[in-house]
Amino acid sequence: MKKVVIAIIAVILVLAVALSIYELTGSSIVISGQLGPCSDSDNGVDLYTTGITGYDNRPKYTDECMTDFKIKEYYCTHVDMRVKSVKYHCDKGCVNGACVK
């Protein structure tokens, strides 16, 4: 029983570290494993234009302001056409899913 508890705690710690590294680096994450024709209305990572990304007949993801100065930008990968997202800091602020120029 003690080994199981230690293993669970270890897994939780590893996940906590991984999530904190993700927050610090802004690295991308896979939103959907769905392969197929992915489209992005702002044609990729464009921090200054609000875009909508997704697949035909599937849920769409709209670029969004997470805070007044942090954006979550969705885009399609070129290799496997998956929807991914990345977080960025907007120096002049974020409004309606786009960084202020």
Neighbours of 74 (CB within 10 A): 26
DSSP state of 36: S
d(CA 94, CA 96): 7
C-alpha distances in Å from residue 64, one per residue of 34, 39, 79 = 21, 17, 24
Q: What angle do CA 18, 22, 28 make, to 5 degrees?
A: 125
Q: Is residue 74 within 8 Å of residue 53, measured between CB atoms?
A: yes
Q: Which two tokens stand for residue 89?
A: 């800091």
pTM: 0.64
- Amino acid (one-letter) located at 7: A
- At residue 56, the pLDDT reads 80
Tell me: pLDDT of 10 over 80.
no
Write the pLDDT tens digit of every residue in 72-101.
Answer: 999 999 888 889 999 999 999 999 999 999
d(CA 79, CA 94): 29
